Amino acid sequence: MTRAVRELSSGLTARLVEEGALASGGPLTEAFRRVDRGVFVPAFALHEHTARGVRYRLVRGDDPGQGEEWARHVYADETLIIEIAGKPVVDALPGGTGTGRWTSSSTMPSLMAWMLHQLDLDDEPRVLEIGVGSGYNAAILCEVLGSDRVTSVDISPRLARDATRRLFSLGYTPVVASYDGHGGFPDHAPYDRIVSTTAFTHVPPDWIAQVDPGGSILVNIAGGTGGAMLKLRVHGDRTARGRFVPRWAGFMPARSSTPRRRVSVDGEGERGTTALDPATVRGEPAMAFLAQLATTDADTVLRTADTGADFLFMEGADGAWAEIDMDAVNGRHAVVQGGPRRLWHQVEEAHRWWLANDRPDWSAFGATVTPEGQHVWFASPESGPRWPLPCP
Ligand SMILES: C[S@@+](CC[C@H](N)C(=O)[O-])C[C@H]1O[C@@H](n2cnc3c(N)ncnc32)[C@H](O)[C@@H]1O
């Protein structure tokens, strides 16, 4: 590390300490000081607003004209996009700008620090990380635990390869593999911790088999409507139980090597109106979390009709769908729903339950995972309402 880079890395760590994301001393803080994020994020894409809409702009550390801008973002508490449509940003944006769906990022350092703290690394656990991405988080884990305690997988072979090269260049030698994290990584099991930096709709059952009793799992359980971070303890009888943690965080959804089948159901649908403002589902994370539980597997997106009107569109894997007008007429929003269940009615029922129970947030909920199935509970695992997680 050159002196200038050491100062930048120390500056980022100092800011994380100042904001309370890191303690003022200790192995984790020292690891953030020692590992240069710049090695793992040589280039990234920023969102740029133009007259023709939003596009990406590439920022490269090896471009002398961009070096200062690159450093300003890399050594800041920012999430940085490193892969678009399965290609590293330098390949995805050959002309320096472009569009597409981003598929990997280097996580915001304060969120990384919080997750690593949640993992409780003091007793030197063997850790499996799902989503190596840039490799920066894996490097911090190696710095704290030693490389032989760290395994990290990514569904993208190119990311796994690039991360391995960068980790090795700094002397870190964890096991890094290209693997679909839905299966954990059996080759190196057992682990004491599994931490996922990508969101899953359920806890992949293989993870429970790969974590030793007493170990834990930290994962963002989310669908396309909402979610939250779940911390589970694994028990000797191959079950796991835990609570959603108070800090809200959302990760990109896990990609899958065997995409879920989604049924498409056409038809006119059933027309009605609702007093529930669909903005509540989009804007209130606690209600989005509950709407996700109530509709199990529904995705939710905001769309604009040819008429220019915005509407919320929900769709379940079974083909159930609902469209809700964002604008109200006389206090009511138009709704059209079709398919085998009425998604918006499920959301309305969840909303009534939420109000009746004093608007709890996700930290009042927990989850139980057994070989027979998985469900989320409210307040206590033994009593109260339950919502099944969409475990295939
Ligand atoms: C937020 S990024 C990871 C950030 C990373 N930990 C870092 O330090 O840069 C999420 C990663 O999860 C990966 N991913 C998505 N679905 C996956 C899956 N099913 N199995 C393994 N990795 C997956 C993505 O390719 C992406 O690199």
Indicate if the pLDDT at residue 55 is higher than 90. Answer: yes
Q: Which CATH superfamily is domain 109-244 in?
A: Vaccinia Virus protein VP39 (3.40.50.150)
Share of the chain above pLDDT 90, in %: 89
Distance 131 CA to ligand 1 centre (A): 3
Residue 162 near ligand 1, beta carbon < 6 Å:
no
The number of the ligand 1 atom at minimal distance from the alpha carbon of 257 is 19
155 touches ligand 1 (CB under 6 Å)? yes
Ranges of CATH 3.30.160 domains, the chain? 270-356
pLDDT at 342: 96
| 3 state SS for the chain | CCHHHHHHHHHHHHHHHHCCCCCCCCHHHHHHHHCCHHHHCCEEEEEEEECCEEEEEEEECCCCCCHHHHHHHHCCCCCEEEEECCEEHHHHCCCCEECCCEEEEECCHHHHHHHHHHHCCCCCCCEEEECCCCCHHHHHHHHHHCHHHEEEEECCHHHHHHHHHHHHHCCCCCEEEECCHHHCCHHHCCEEEEEECCEECCCCHHHHHHEEEEEEEEEEEECCCCEEEEEEEECCCCCEEEEECCCCCCCCECCCCCCCCCCCCCCCCEEEEECCCCHHHHHCHHHHHHHHHHHCCCEEEEEECCCCCEEEEEECCCCCEEEEECCCECCEEEEEEECCCCHHHHHHHHHHHHHHCCCCCHHHEEEEEECCEEEEEECCCCCCCEEECCCC
Tell whether ligand 1 has an atom less than 6 A from the beta carbon of residue 184: no
Q: Which CATH class is domain 270-356?
A: alpha beta
Q: Quick one: average pLDDT of 336-352?
A: 96
pLDDT in tens, 171-187: 999 999 999 999 999 99
pLDDT at 8 over 90: no
Q: How far is the CA of 160 from the centre of ligand 1 (A)?
A: 10
* Active-site pick, 9, 104, 152, 156: 104
CATH 3.40.50.150 domain position(s) in the chain: 109-244
